[in-house]
Amino acid sequence: MPEVHEPLRIVVVDDHTVMRAGVVALLAPVPDISVVGEAGDGREALDLVERAPDVALVDLRMPVMDGVEATAAITAGPAGTRVLILTTYDTDVEIERAVEAGAVGYLLKDTTADQLAEAVRAAARGETVLAPRVAERLVALMRRPAPVVLTARERDVLGAVADGLSNAEIGRRLVIAEATVKTHLLRVFAKLDVSDRTHAVVVALERGLLTRREPPRRAGGAGTHPA
């Protein structure tokens, strides 16, 4: 005799009544999925999760408690409920916040009924489920270079380079040894992945690490010698 599995139990969390009703209607004909609760905000969702549903379909922007806060609270709780975001928003910030909060999936509201049902099944198994546009954005985010942070002294030294000063002149301006100036510049080169002073200034300006200044007072001061 074939083994009989209980339907997956899900809750739908969305502050728009019509949207909730639409999601419930989409899933109603699916025999292995059962909607066992609805909530209009994240706070109500936490009460529903006490019933230990398998998956919570959660919108992002809601009153009282938004989807990210609700996701973090649900995934940190004892019920073991998986959170699958279902929203209209696909900005980098929204995606990052949801994933960091613990969501196993991120779908957009143009998802078809079949895609939604399969996503719920995958989420219940703990698998990552991403809308194609969301997956592309996450890949782009992962490929984005790590942000560069210059110390205050490194910015001072690089700013002096942009002013066209030599190492000796920078040392006198900042009251530090010329060897110390060179050390700071070498660290800046490494952080910006450049090999000379001119490129260091150009890259720093492009990344907003250095305030744009007047052109250097002489060409030789910001030349291409190492440091």
Query: What's the rounded Cα separation, in Å, for the pair 161 and 85?
Result: 49
- Residues of the chain predicted below pLDDT 70: 1-4, 142-146, 212-227
pTM of the model: 0.63
pLDDT of residue 137: 77
Residue 154 one-letter amino acid? E
- pLDDT digits over 26-37, tens only? 999 999 999 999
Query: What's the rounded Cα separation, in Å, for the pair 81 and 189?
Result: 48
Query: What's the rounded Cα separation, in Å, for the pair 41 and 15?
Result: 6
pLDDT of residue 138: 76
- pLDDT digits over 167-202, tens only? 999 999 999 988 899 998 999 998 888 889 989 999
Are the C-beta atoms of 116 and 12 separated by less than 8 Å? no
pLDDT of residue 1: 46
pLDDT of residue 221: 42
Query: What's the rounded Cα separation, in Å, for the pair 113 and 66?
Result: 25
At residue 170, the 3 state secondary structure works out as helix
At residue 4, the 3 state secondary structure works out as coil
pLDDT of residue 216: 43
